[in-house]
């Protein structure tokens, strides 16, 4: 991880407040604010950059070893992340679906991974795209056009899956999960 220049960041926050017409030295409520802002961003909001994901995984004990089959899913992991466009906090939840390799990690490890990546700059587009897919009722091709930028990274990733069995399985998995979610919601509504 790159070293954080806290003194420089504090000066920048102070100058930002002054540029907005606020006096961090004269207003008692703003005294110490630059240091608190830097601490919050460096240690908490963007603290995921300081975590070595490979070390996290290697330190985690696999729940099972050997040949494993099937998909593992974890839904509804609450998260807060910072959008890189405005540096504002966004809240939501994440779902993780993966096919285990030789080691099966526990759900706590998956949640920890979500936390690490959430505590890095993350586009709110991902959360918006998930909500759009869940509620729009549109065909996947229409959604793809609505959420990808021409020539962008998401488009390239999706193009790499074209024609692959993985794409068909993933689409089917999402459809099955959505169907089951609706069923469970109906069951809860009847209770």
Determine how β-strand 103-104 pairs with β-strand 89-98: unpaired
Report the domain count for the chain: 3
Interatomic CA distance for residues 35 and 10, integer angstroms: 6
Establish if 60 belongs to a structural domain: yes
My answer on whether 102 and 150 are in the same domain is no
Neighbours of 175 (CB within 10 A): 11
Establish if 149 belongs to a structural domain: yes
- The three-state secondary structure class of 3 is coil
For residue 73, what pLDDT is reported? 79
Q: Take residue 143 and report the two structure tokens written for it.
A: 């959604």
My answer on whether 79 and 138 are in the same domain is no
Establish if 1 belongs to a structural domain: no
My answer on whether 109 and 147 are in the same domain is no
For residue 57, what pLDDT is reported? 84
Which residue range forms the structural domain that includes residue 27? 6-45
Determine contact, residues 30/17, Cβ cutoff 8 Å. Answer: yes
Helices (H) and strands (E) in the chain, counts: 8, 4
For residue 130, what pLDDT is reported? 56
Mean pLDDT split into 10-residue runs, the chain, 191 residues: 86 97 95 96 93 85 64 82 86 77 79 90 62 59 66 68 62 74 70 53
For residue 21, what pLDDT is reported? 96
Please indicate, yes or no, whether the overall pTM of this predicted structure exceeds 0.75.
no
Neighbours of 14 (CB within 10 A): 19
The contacts of residue 47 (CB under 8 Å, 6+ apart) are 119
My answer on whether 59 and 94 are in the same domain is yes
For residue 42, what pLDDT is reported? 94
For residue 28, what pLDDT is reported? 95
Establish if 143 belongs to a structural domain: yes
For residue 16, what pLDDT is reported? 96
């Amino acid at each position: 991880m790159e070293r954080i220049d806290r003194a420089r960041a504090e000066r920048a926050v102070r100058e930002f407040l002054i540029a907005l017409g606020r006096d961090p030295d004269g207003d008692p409520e703003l005294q110490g604010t630059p240091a608190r802002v830097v601490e919050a961003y460096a240690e908490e909001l963007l603290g995921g950059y300081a975590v070595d994901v490979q070390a996290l995984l290697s330190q985690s004990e696999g729940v099972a070893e050997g040949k494993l089959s099937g998909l593992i899913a974890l839904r509804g992991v609450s998260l807060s992340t910072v959008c890189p466009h405005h540096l504002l906090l966004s809240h939501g939840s994440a779902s993780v679906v993966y096919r285990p390799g030789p080691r099966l990690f526990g759900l706590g490890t998956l949640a920890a991974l979500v936390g690490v990546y959430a505590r890095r700059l993350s586009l709110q587009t991902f959360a918006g795209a998930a909500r759009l897919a869940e509620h729009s009722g549109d065909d996947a091709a229409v959604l793809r056009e609505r959420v990808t930028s021409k020539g962008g990274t998401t488009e390239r990733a999706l193009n790499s899956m074209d024609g692959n069995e993985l794409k068909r399985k993933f689409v089917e998995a999402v459809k099955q999960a959505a169907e089951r979610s609706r069923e469970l919601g109906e069951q809860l509504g009847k209770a």
